[in-house]
Structure 1
Amino acid sequence: MTQIPTRIDAVQWAQYFAKLAINEMTWFDFLTVIDRGEGLEVIVRVVNIASNESALVSTTVTQEVTSLTATYPGAGWYEREAQEMFGVTFIGLDDGRPLLHRSHTQGSPMRKSVTL
């Protein structure tokens, strides 16, 4: 499997994935977030099933980034989890409801700045 790692600016996030989808990277594999302290790194992997190629794309955000659900509808669950756990706002995410009920928790529990 060939994997193409790429780091892009958050402003180009949604447009970059739209181009990948046009180029047969149509399978959304995963989205995760890493708290780097000075920013949040959002990482996504998409796959071209026919050629067995994948793209691992990351960007650094402080708070928000455009949702990928217009291109990859399956990204919604991952974005909802990242929103709840890390406090990343996904602009354009249709369903921003929390996946877990956290009425007893303040803040985003996976952020380094939050004490549990």
Structure 2
Amino acid sequence: SSPIFISPVNATGFKWTSVSVEFEEYKQVNIGNDVWIGANAMILGGITIGDGAIIGAGAVVTKDIPPYAIVGGIPARIIRYRFPNDVINALLSSQWWNLSENILKSNIKVFQSNDFINHIDGLFNT
């Protein structure tokens, strides 16, 4: 039952078998943009964390997390959302994280303001 006999990824670093493995060793975890993950949080394989989500310290994430959700606990559950739905939709459609570093730096005051969402469209035209 040791993985060295069936797994291409094992402690020896060598594949000891010529038989193709019929199971998936690791499931990709997909973490969105602007995500905060607290200390000692555990995210199971195959999970997607949406843009802007916050994972509380020590949380165990067993299900996909929607964008801008704040989750915590074991298993992690949605506590609330960071913003109202209209703001979340505007942030997601803007994809502000794809702006150049120069635009981000020169508009730092816009990003720090509570009125950010009303100015986001103008940032893409600079």
Q: Which has the higher relative contact order, 1 or 2, with Cα contacts under 8 A spaced 6 or more apart?
A: 1
Higher strand share: 1
- Which has more radius of gyration? 2
Higher helix share: 2
Both proteins in one fold, TM over 0.5: no
TM-score (norm 2): 0.23
